[in-house]
Amino acid sequence: MKFLLCNGSPRGKNGNSGILVDALAKGLSEHADVRIEKALLNRIGEHEQTAGALAAADCAIIVFPLYTDAMPGMTMAFFEKLAPYIGSLNDLHLGFVVQSGFPEKIQSRAVEKYLERLTGILGAQYSGTAIFGGGMSMGKNRLKLARDLGKTFLPSGTFDPALLAETSRMEKLSPRGIKVMRLITNMPLIQIPWIRQLRVNGSFKRRNDRPYA
């Protein structure tokens, strides 16, 4: 059985998506008959080749981070390369892992809906979407869960719903949680990386602009 694991992070192997891909692969490799191939979607020049590998696979899982409430542009660009295969992917089981920095699952729900719709448009079998909030902490429990998600993906070709419910328990912050988060995110130390990015991009003075207001 051919299994393709795609990493849709611009950070490639060095990011949190790469860690989750490796954990999924560990779980999957407990099945003797599985041949796992990994693809990095930050190699944009290889997208067509990777699209071909996906079309030839029995199962695929695409892992990517949430960037500004959406998928990274290179993940989207890869999806567009799948257009020539529409109608020929009926036997493909296709699953997704979306992981984010903030803890709430709700921020990944829109992209989850899109992924289910995309799978339908491609004509593949939807295997589900695992949503991991709070991706900055890739602890032991999270990696075990990812490994178990890989292991139990087969033979059915879908994620185990009980494990999906475990990935992040928090759908939304409580009103008190929102207050705490506001306090934390306004701390100068937390702001430093964002301020640095604003300065690098020459947009610090315009940081409070509201062009759509």
Ligand X SMILES: Cc1cc2nc3c(=O)[nH]c(=O)nc-3n(C[C@H](O)[C@H](O)[C@H](O)COP(=O)(O)O)c2cc1C
Q: Least distance to ligand X from the beta carbon of 202, Å? A: 17
CA quadruple 107, 109, 111, 112: dihedral positive or negative?
A: positive
Residue that is written with structure tokens 């409430």 in the block: 69
Q: Is residue 67 a contact residue for ligand X (CB under 6 A)? A: yes
- Which residues within the stretch 142-201 sit at the binding site for ligand X (CB under 6 A)? none
CA angle 5, 6, 9 (to 5 degrees): 140
Q: 66 or 149, CB closer to ligand X?
A: 66
Q: Is residue 99 a contact residue for ligand X (CB under 6 A)? A: yes
Q: Is residue 75 a contact residue for ligand X (CB under 6 A)? A: no
* C-beta of residue 93 within 8 angstroms of C-beta of residue 125: yes
Q: Find the binder of ligand X among 83, 86, 136, 178 (CB under 6 A).
A: 136
Query: What is the Cα–Cα distance from 74 to 71, expressed in whole angstroms?
Result: 8
* C-beta of residue 67 within 8 angstroms of C-beta of residue 34: no
Residue that is written with structure tokens 């610090």 in the block: 204
By C-alpha distance, which of 71, 63, 46 is closest to 3?
63
Q: Is residue 65 a contact residue for ligand X (CB under 6 A)? A: yes
* C-beta of residue 41 within 8 angstroms of C-beta of residue 11: no
Q: 17 or 50, CB closer to ligand X?
A: 17
Query: What is the Cα–Cα distance from 69 to 184, expressed in whole angstroms?
Result: 20
Q: Find the binder of ligand X among 3, 4, 5, 17 (CB under 6 A).
A: 17
First to last CA, the chain: 52
Nearest-CB residue for ligand X: 15
Size of the site for ligand X (CB under 6 A): 17
Q: 16 or 129, CB closer to ligand X?
A: 16
Q: Find the binder of ligand X among 24, 66, 130, 149 (CB under 6 A).
A: 66
Q: Least distance to ligand X from the beta carbon of 100, Å? A: 3
Q: Least distance to ligand X from the beta carbon of 131, Å? A: 11
- Binding residues for ligand X, per CB under 6 A? 9, 11, 15-17, 65-69, 99-102, 107, 135-136
